[in-house]
Chain A
Amino acid sequence: MGNIEELLRKRKELLEEIDKEIQKSYTRPVALMFTDIVASTEYFEKKGDIAGRQMIQTHNDILFPIVKDHGGKVIKTIGDSIMASFDNPLQSVTCAIKMQKALAAYNKGKAVDENIKVRIGIHFGQAVVDEKDLFGDVVNTSARVEAKAHAGEIIISSSLKKEIASADLPLVFLGSDYVKGKKQRIDFFLINWNNREQEEIARSWKERIHIKVIVEKAAAPKTKIAIKQNIDFKRKASLVKPLAKKGNPYLNRVMLPHPEMFYGRKGLVKRVLTRLTGQRPQSISLVGERRIGKSSLLNFLNFPTTRINLIEDPEQYIQLFIDFQQLRTIDESEFIAVIFKELVKQLGNNITIRITPNFDGMHLLCEKIAEAGFKFIMFFDEFESVTKNEKIGPEFYSFFRSLANNYPVAFVTASGRNLKDMCVTHEISDSPFFNIFAVQNVGLFKQDEAYALITESSAQNGIPLEPIRHEIVEQGGLYPFFLQILCSAWYEYLESEGLAAQDLADKKIPKEVVNMFREEAEPHFEYVLETFHKQEIEIFKTILSGKQPEPYSVYTEQLEKKGYIVCEEPDVYKPFSVQFELFLKRRLS
């Protein structure tokens, strides 16, 4: 017998040796499957214990042989759950598919309350295996994976996915999430054995994630903000289907819903993104006339594919989009609540907010976003609805300015005129808040942008307008909205007449096209005319009489900036399009 030190050393060696032996003889990698009968409690309650037990027996009779046939071993059953292990990872998945198919066959033709539906989760990892049971982290994780599944689903973890990577299986990436007891997120994959629609799967996955948004009413709430990851936009981008290339491509009159529908503005997009992606993002105010395309531009900038394609490090940015047209009467706390709500919508299960949506909460939110290394960009459409809102006071603007000054936070607003000119009080218009913005004018298309709109989508959809692009620009001008209406009328005319633009001997605009254009465009021309200042009307009258207006007058510059007159030669102005000029002649002559 040696001294104590020696004994302890020997003990340690012995333990290590035993561990090695256990490791060698009893530890091995397994694919561990958990199944669970969905709504079994209700079944027992409704049909009684005997019928319930019978149902479990039927379930066992159907599933146990399938496990065995696939080289698996039922370790145990816990109530209505099965825990089964497989040495071959691929076999665990094929077994799960067979199990779901067998139950689907059993359920066919039966009343809904007689159906047996299970959820299945499988994880792969090291387990300590004895003759009758199995232990280790793999057991807990497998159970958590199973809990993520819905009735009829098979969900697997990323570690199992790695093992079966070469197999031809209908795998769908669902997303990442934390599970109880794990510090790292787990990627989840669905085995889409019953060919469900991708969109439906994505939606269903999103719905089952419980987002914790607890709006505290107490004065000093417990604060908790956790931003785990910012990758939801990638999933959203992957769901965007390519645009259907059929029919008249110029019919859209709402905010462009698809990035492929967005033409031009490359310079402006670049300028905006340069400001947003600097070390400290800079706020931008986009100002432009009604129907010039501000909302579509804002939506395009916020679109997930734009981030992926045009921003170097898209994960760095947390973005949200709010249209204030519908929120004209909200108060300050509602404003902040809208931001919180939209943030949760954008980040899905990647954010946990447990905070009061007030000024302090907003500060804290921006602080946490900054701490986590993100930049926070808020796109605000129709922002004049806010500046004109009497319920939003000057302190609110000071507060938002301080956010932009202290954190990597920027606002991109869209409005019909300069924000300062659209404030409900002078106190607000004098606020230094407006100084943080770089103003960018959203004006007419450049000629090449107009040509791209005219030629590309028409060619893709089968009736090219390229041969008449000059005529279209001349008649419709470079105002995107009116150009779109004219293209739509031309496209519809050629389609209904069975003509091709290149076959038109005379490229003169047909009466049918003019009528269609006028029918749609003139109410907008009327609106524009009503909103002109009387000095602006005089400028048009001057131009229509063959003379030229004062080039440096405020009103001339304003009209040019708004896009209603163009200056093709120095100091020679004309209405932006032939059709607008004809309208003005009819109205002002």
Chain B
Amino acid sequence: MIEPDRPIVSADKFYGQRTTVRRVFSRIGADRPQSVAIIGGRKIGKTSLLNYIHNQEIQQQYLENRNDFIFIKINLKNEKYQNAESFLRSVYTQLTQNQNEDGNWYNLMQKFVEDCHNTGKKLILLLDDFHYITRNQNFPLEFFSFLRSLANNYNLAYVTTSYLELQKLCVAKDIEESPFFNIFTNLALGLLSCPDGVSLYMDLTDCSREQAENLVNWCGPLPYVLKIAAQKINTPGSFNDQVYEKILLPELSAYFEEIVSILPKDAFKPLKELAKDKEPSPREIHHLQPLIRQSFLVEDMDELKFYSPAFKNYILKNFSASLLKGTDSCF
């Protein structure tokens, strides 16, 4: 059964993103583990990627001394921590399996991390949807300074996911300007490669390679989009772009709406112009950066293009300025 909305849990069902996975592990496996912020649009596969990184067999493949590492993964969307103390308490309890401890969670956590460091252990916290923390006003600046201090002084790193750069998702200016964010290397999570997209679609359906290639060319190698397509078109047949548009575009519009909703208002005009094959000015292109970083727009031979005819058609026909209402605060 195809479930486009559910993140992939099993490593053998995870497709592509080899470069990103390699880059994440090269940073985790550095002499002093380094923090990574994985940034990607909604349903691009961030949680699936984090699940994949959390898989012990995969860790074994990429890390030289896997046994030196302690990984924990927290889904911040599900957990909804009330404040910094409850978050630290949860992390501490997960790490130590000690439910009975109580006290100053900052101190307890620091002591634990210090002990790990002194015994040569490396601690990796996988924090899914980290913007639920940065946007929560009950997490003060001291909390982020504390996290930074741990990473500065001990063998500890964070791998976070968020739909935009974390600085753009902060509840307060002082947190946004905090040097905490300096410790991260941002990695944009983009599309799959076309061959990976084709393989995924073929695995989900009974369609031929040629049919899969045609479909991927139209809608682009995005796992979520391909899964929706596989729900609708899963038997061999002869389809063309018009048919895809008729069957799939209504299904995909809601997703594309979410993708563009992170853009500032100023992005409307250049995006529409681009769909009409007009080249926006460099300054206007800047407003489209979030889409470029996530590969929904690609620069090809100094020319900016849509990643797929499906997305281009959506912008041309369905995209309206009202969708960008209220998004200025992100920028």
Point out the residues of chain B lying under 8 angstroms from A496, CB to CB: 19, 22
Interface string of B21-49 (1 = CB under 8 A from A): 01100110111101100000000000000
The residue of chain A having its C-beta at the shortest distance from the C-beta of B18 within the complex is A496
Interface string of B51-66 (1 = CB under 8 A from A): 0000000000000000
Q: Can you report 5 residue pairs joining A to B where beta carbons are below 8 Å apart? A: A244-B31, A325-B179, A328-B141, A585-B282, A586-B286
The residue of chain A having its C-beta at the shortest distance from the C-beta of B178 within the complex is A325
A586–B283 touching, CB < 8 Å: yes
Interface string of B182-193 (1 = CB under 8 A from A): 111111100000
For the side of the interface on B, what is the size category?
Answer: 35 or more
B118–A253 touching, CB < 8 Å: no
Q: How far is the CB of B138 from chain A (nearest CB, A)?
A: 16
Asked if A587 is an interface residue, CB under 8 A from chain B, the answer is yes
Q: How far is the CB of A424 from chain B (nearest CB, A)?
A: 14
Asked if A150 is an interface residue, CB under 8 A from chain B, the answer is no
| Complex CA distance for A200 and B120, rounded to whole angstroms | 9
A251–B30 touching, CB < 8 Å: yes
A257–B26 touching, CB < 8 Å: no
Asked if B148 is an interface residue, CB under 8 A from chain A, the answer is yes
Q: Which residues of chain A (490-518) have a CB below 8 Å from chain B?
A: 492, 496
Contacts A326-B142, A328-B145; A295 near B30 (Cβ below 8 A): no
Asked if A252 is an interface residue, CB under 8 A from chain B, the answer is yes
Sorted nearest first, the 3 A-B pairs with minimum C-beta distance are A326-B145, A251-B30, A255-B152
Q: Which residues of chain B (243-291) have a CB below 8 Å from chain A?
A: 281-283, 285-286, 289
Q: How far is the CB of A566 from chain B (nearest CB, A)?
A: 23
Point out the residues of chain B lying under 8 angstroms from A586, CB to CB: 282-283, 285-286
Interface string of A372-414 (1 = CB under 8 A from B): 0000000000100000000000000000000000000000000
Asked if A112 is an interface residue, CB under 8 A from chain B, the answer is no
Asked if B135 is an interface residue, CB under 8 A from chain A, the answer is no
A252–B141 touching, CB < 8 Å: no
Point out the residues of chain A lying under 8 angstroms from B322, CB to CB: none
| Complex CA distance for A520 and B119, rounded to whole angstroms | 32
Q: How far is the CB of A22 from chain B (nearest CB, A)?
A: 51
Asked if A432 is an interface residue, CB under 8 A from chain B, the answer is no
Asked if B128 is an interface residue, CB under 8 A from chain A, the answer is no
Point out the residues of chain B lying under 8 angstroms from A363, CB to CB: none
Point out the residues of chain A lying under 8 angstroms from B281, CB to CB: 589
| Complex CA distance for A587 and B118, rounded to whole angstroms | 46
Asked if B73 is an interface residue, CB under 8 A from chain A, the answer is no
| Complex CA distance for A589 and B285, rounded to whole angstroms | 11
Q: How far is the CB of B114 from chain A (nearest CB, A)?
A: 10
| Complex CA distance for A252 and B30, rounded to whole angstroms | 8
B151–A325 touching, CB < 8 Å: no
Query: 11 extra interchain contacts, Cβ-Cβ under 8 A, other than A254-B32, A325-B145, A527-B167?
Result: A199-B120, A203-B119, A247-B30, A252-B30, A253-B183, A258-B31, A290-B182, A291-B182, A328-B141, A519-B187, A523-B165
| Complex CA distance for A325 and B140, rounded to whole angstroms | 13
Asked if A449 is an interface residue, CB under 8 A from chain B, the answer is no
The residue of chain B having its C-beta at the shortest distance from the C-beta of A257 within the complex is B32
Asked if A581 is an interface residue, CB under 8 A from chain B, the answer is no
**Quick one: which of A254, A291, A329, A522 contacts B151, CB cutoff 8 A?**
A254
Asked if A80 is an interface residue, CB under 8 A from chain B, the answer is no
B185–A253 touching, CB < 8 Å: yes
Asked if B149 is an interface residue, CB under 8 A from chain A, the answer is yes
Q: How far is the CB of A196 from chain B (nearest CB, A)?
A: 12
A254–B283 touching, CB < 8 Å: no
| Complex CA distance for A25 and B181, rounded to whole angstroms | 76
Point out the residues of chain B lying under 8 angstroms from A523, CB to CB: 165, 167, 181, 186
Asked if B112 is an interface residue, CB under 8 A from chain A, the answer is no
| Complex CA distance for A253 and B28, rounded to whole angstroms | 12
Contacts A199-B120, A254-B152, A326-B149; A519 near B186 (Cβ below 8 A): yes
Asked if A1 is an interface residue, CB under 8 A from chain B, the answer is no
| Complex CA distance for A203 and B141, rounded to whole angstroms | 32
Asked if A466 is an interface residue, CB under 8 A from chain B, the answer is no
Q: How far is the CB of A303 from chain B (nearest CB, A)?
A: 13
| Complex CA distance for A192 and B22, rounded to whole angstroms | 40
A248–B151 touching, CB < 8 Å: no
B293–A519 touching, CB < 8 Å: yes
**Quick one: which of A199, A254, A587 contacts B183, CB cutoff 8 A?**
A254
Asked if B146 is an interface residue, CB under 8 A from chain A, the answer is yes
A520–B186 touching, CB < 8 Å: yes
Q: How far is the CB of B244 from chain A (nearest CB, A)?
A: 30
Most chain-B Cβ atoms within 10 A of its Cβ — which of A252, A522, A587? A252
